[in-house]
Structure 1
Amino acid sequence: MHIVVVGLNYRTSPVEVREKFTFADKDLPEALRQLKLTKTVLEGVIVATCNRTEIYVVVDRLHMCGYFIRGFMEQWFGISREEFTKHIYIYEDEQAISHLFRVTCSLDSMVLGETQILGQVRSAFLESQRNNATGTWFNMLFKQAVTLGKRVHSETTIGESAVSISYAAVELGKRIFGLFTDKKVLILGAGKMSELTVKHLYGNGAAEVIVANRTLSRAEELAKKFNGSPCTLDAAIKRLDEVDILISSTGADEYVLTSSQVKESMKRRQSRPLFIIDIAVPRDIDPIIGDIHNVFLYDIDDLEGIVQSNLEMRRTEASKIEIMIEEEIIVFNQWLKTLGVRPVIRALQEKSNVIHEETMESLFNKLPELDEHQRKVIRRLTKSIVNQMLHDPINRIKELTGEKNGEDSLDVFTQIFALEDQLNDTRDDDMLVGPKRILMGTSSKSSTEIKSSLPKASLMPASL
């Protein structure tokens, strides 16, 4: 058995390619159904965002599985594989597991440390689970990935620092105001950077937005997006005393705001602070305005310095997360190995139970004078002897299967206790075995036969 991911993302393909490989939410159930019908596929999860489309599968053999998954993509999207093969990547087994963990921890995101991808992976997994597309392996792996992602954001600071100019501006504002509730924002200019900044401010609770631009129609266009009010630049200067935050990015050749205008405004503000972000190059705001009491002025160099510092901090945190991922890969591989020992232990216990019952029946036939109480005492004591005899061998084989030659140890254990017949009669997904990804006693079965023998995926805890 193997874990494989086939995908494309912002690194391997431009947006004009990625947009052709999106899954609408309403289409996911049918896509998952068709994915499960794909040859070699036993389990599947589809993670689709604006920056990536990834298909995670558990397959019964590696040979040709990439070919079959590309065939699924070709059929679903109606695009010849020759058009997209150069844009996709394929990771197998440990590399695929590591990739999923890195994606969930946002180490593979365009913005390092962003939190949105964690929820997107979780939603993709739950959607697959609801449609019975997951099983034993992915129920464990994706739960572990989501839990790791939560740990990363609670135990590290990778997502706490601003890494864009617009977001850095908002973080600076928080240092002054704490919250933006009931705060008014004035935008001078209606360019893209101004729009992104006010979007963050509005999303953080800014109460009102005033948009000022030389061209009133453009001001009206942007103001409408945030339920704001438009005005001209001249009118905006007269409204300085109304606002708490001013963002300027006009592209003018000279200062659009002077020291005297701000001083006059501050007289009417009754000591309320004014937070000014000058994103323009050349600058819109006369630098000496920053010397006015209760005026906090930042230009784009200030913000870029914060961004670079925070990016470096996130990279430092990322190195810590890589170590956490390596540890989680070991945990998952150890879990895989325990899947092989479970049916062997169960077979040993069942065999010992049969021997014990047959022995008790023979004993009681030879001693018919025993009453019910005496029989219960004898049965309990002899059962205790059997359990104690099995206790150490069972614990030892659990330990051995986690070591380098665990499968060889398991084979020897099976032969010593002559459990081959019991194992060959077992047909369930507990028969999945460790790092070689094989099915004990069913290695010659087709993927369709294996699928039919696997139980339906059980729902994960709500805490996921």
Structure 2
Amino acid sequence: MNFTLLGWNFRSTPLEVRDRISLTENEQLELVHHIKASCGIQESVLLSTCNRTELFLYNMERPEEELLEVLQNYWGIPELLQSHYLLREEKALHHLFRVASSLDSMVVGEPQILGQLKEAFGRFHENRLTGRFLYAMFTRAFSVAKRVRTETSIGDNAVSISYAAVELAKRIFEDIRQQKVLVIGAGEMAELAILHLLRTGIHQLKVTNRTFSNAAKLAEQFQASVFPFEKLYSELPDADIVISSTGAREPILTPDRVRASLRKRRGRAMFFIDIAVPRDIDPSVNDLSGVYCYDIDDLQGVVEQNREERKEQSNLAEKIILEEQEKVMQWFETQSVIPLVKNLRESFSETVELELQKTLGRLGSLSEKQQAEVEKMARVLTNKLLHKPSTRLKHLSGREDLHLYLETLSELFDLDPNHSKQESISQPALKLLKK
């Protein structure tokens, strides 16, 4: 199969490192083009979210150690070698299915990861960095995720990092409804945070974003106040709770900025919840008196409460994933005999066609209808003769001694078991895989 997964996620890698390997969309494409050229990779997809950076690779020519060296040089981070995970073949496929089904998420059952995975695949597919293999694997992963959602209740009351952030704020304040909240950002995470905040009864809510129109649209949707990003530091002292989720490459809230806000608040504490990667808030603001700052890793405790509630549904989902994984692996085993079956059919067809033309020449003047009947009979006979051996070969595809059958058949009919004039993974086969 030659399928490899290389990744770093919230379990294996600290946030400080995840910050540094988080990439913009353009940077993701740049990196994949770089490793494709350096390591001879045929197909690639890179998934980069706040909780994971994962490379899905097909048909890599160079050793995996060379890929790690290329990435380490690209990012300039020695810690990459200590915190990565590397999965191959069936284990890589299993991981892809778990990620798509939200079983590998910090918040099990959250729906965002499937959308992020679809978006990542779509972007790399549009840029011609995927091919038939990853197309088949990812579309199958999407259908597995749909089945998990349909056949289990793992998504019922599903929470997200944004939900966990609001839950944390509720624990901090005796009555969160009386607090003034500022949300920085206008993306999906910010939108979800606002949605959950409003459900708690918050009514003093402000929104800002670098692109004012996006913030205004979000504020209008949820009847919140909005102000231009340029006024962030003048508005900051008014906020009791700040939830930040932007795509900034550098912290937008530094100790100096927060210290200035604290002076204007005259001793009133400020709570910051940073759900951005890279982080929006410099972690050293936690050293300031009267400041409590939580980042995405701190939310793990809130998330853990969810895990027990979803354990039973997760077990059902795992069974579905194993079933679907087995189907794919059986399909791959079947693929190992397809080149020989096609070669056998091509050989028979060439012989039949040659003899058919000789026979038609000897028969003399036949009508078009008669000639068509003779040709039809020859082709039907060929298909009937080859049907049983072809079917039998596919049924033998899971056996350890399959190679003996292939070698014997190749020797008997003078065939090359690895050669076919047609592509080894056909469109009908891909359709079968995606069912």
Q: For this structure pair, what is the TM-score category when the shorter chain's length is used for normalisation?
A: 0.5 to 0.7
Aligned to 2:409: 413
Aligned to 1:105: 101
Q: Any residues of structure 2 matched to 1:185-224 within 5 Å, and which?
A: 187-189=177-179, 199-202=194-197, 208-209=203-204, 220-221=238-239
CA-to-aligned-CA distance 1:255-283 (integer Å, 9 cap, x gap)? xxxxxxxxxxxxxxxxxxxxxxxxxxxxx
TM-score normalised by length of structure 2: 0.66
Equivalent-residue separation in structure 1 for 2:368 and 2:160 (angstroms): 79
Q: 1:389 aligns with which of 379, 385, 390?
A: 385
Change (3 A) 1:358 1:162: closer
Task: Give the superposition deviation at 1:98.
Answer: 1.3
Equivalent-residue separation in structure 2 for 1:146 and 1:127 (angstroms): 15
Aligned to 2:155: 159
Contact 1:7 1:90 in 2 (8 A): yes
Task: Give the superposition deviation at 1:204.
Answer: 6.2
Contact 2:8 2:84 in 1 (8 A): yes
Equivalent-residue separation in structure 2 for 1:93 and 1:189 (angstroms): 51
Larger radius of gyration: 1
CA-to-aligned-CA distance 1:330-352 (integer Å, 9 cap, x gap)? 11112212323332222222212
Aligned to 2:334: 338
Contiguous gaps of at least 5 residues in structure 1? 172-184, 212-216, 227-249, 252-305, 432-454
Aligned to 2:63: 65
Change (3 A) 1:308 1:354: closer
- The one-letter amino acid paired with 2:194 is K
Aligned to 1:430: 425
- The one-letter amino acid paired with 2:71 is M
Task: Give the superposition deviation at 1:168.
Answer: 8.9
Aligned to 1:46: 46
Equivalent-residue separation in structure 2 for 1:186 and 1:88 (angstroms): 39
Task: Give the superposition deviation at 1:219.
Answer: 7.8
- The one-letter amino acid paired with 1:199 is I
Equivalent-residue separation in structure 2 for 1:198 and 1:188 (angstroms): 17
For this pair of structures, how many residues does the alignment match?
336
Equivalent position SS for 2:23: coil
Aligned to 2:33: 33
Change (3 A) 1:116 1:400: same
Equivalent-residue separation in structure 2 for 1:30 and 1:139 (angstroms): 21
Change (3 A) 1:357 1:164: closer
Change (3 A) 1:222 1:199: farther
Q: Any residues of structure 2 matched to 1:35-434 within 5 Å, and which?
A: 35-60=35-60, 65-77=63-75, 79-80=76-77, 82-161=78-157, 167=163, 187-189=177-179, 199-202=194-197, 208-209=203-204, 220-221=238-239, 311-420=307-416, 423-424=418-419, 426=421, 428=423, 430=425
Change (3 A) 1:402 1:224: closer
Aligned to 1:11: 11
CA-to-aligned-CA distance 1:294-315 (integer Å, 9 cap, x gap)? xxxxxxxxxxxx9987532301
Change (3 A) 1:41 1:361: same
Equivalent-residue separation in structure 2 for 1:221 and 1:47 (angstroms): 34
Q: Any residues of structure 2 matched to 1:429-448 within 5 Å, and which?
A: 430=425
Contact 1:186 1:209 in 2 (8 A): no
Contact 2:17 2:79 in 1 (8 A): no
Contact 1:105 1:118 in 2 (8 A): yes
Change (3 A) 1:40 1:26: closer
Please, what is the CA RMSD of the aligned residues?
4.1
Contact 1:97 1:329 in 2 (8 A): yes
- The one-letter amino acid paired with 1:221 is A
TM-score normalised by length of structure 1: 0.62
Change (3 A) 1:157 1:132: same
Equivalent position SS for 1:112: coil
Equivalent-residue separation in structure 2 for 1:27 and 1:307 (angstroms): 30
